[in-house]
Amino acid sequence: MPKAKAKKICKKVPKEITEYPNANNILYTDGNRSYYYTVIQEGLYPQPPVLAYTQEKNKYKIPDCYCIETTWSHTAANAVIKVMFY
């Protein structure tokens, strides 16, 4: 009788890969999509109650006065936007 194989459960854990502030590129992946951020201009990093959020569900903090370019992909097509937070 063959041995039963153990099932691997791979949970899609969000990961942020960066060397910021030594490098201005940030890669964030949630297992389904990848988001590429490039910090173009740094601003001030205020206290937590003042921070803006990019998504309600996961709430990624981006401070005021930062200029961020982001690219994300889900399929073969990529999208690029540049966002300025004041």
| pLDDT tens-digit map of 7-32 | 555 566 778 888 888 888 888 887 77
- Average confidence score pLDDT of the chain: 67
Q: How confident is the model at residue 45 (pLDDT cuts 50, 70, 90)?
A: low
Residues 79, 51, 16: CA angle, nearest 5 degrees? 50
Higher pLDDT, 21 or 43: 21
Which of 7, 15, 20 lies closest to 32 in space, CA to CA? Answer: 15
Distances (CA, A) of 67 to 7, 10, 12, 30, 34: 44, 35, 29, 23, 19
pLDDT given for residue 38 in this prediction: 82
pLDDT given for residue 41 in this prediction: 74
pTM: 0.46
> What does the block give as tokens for 52?
């803006």
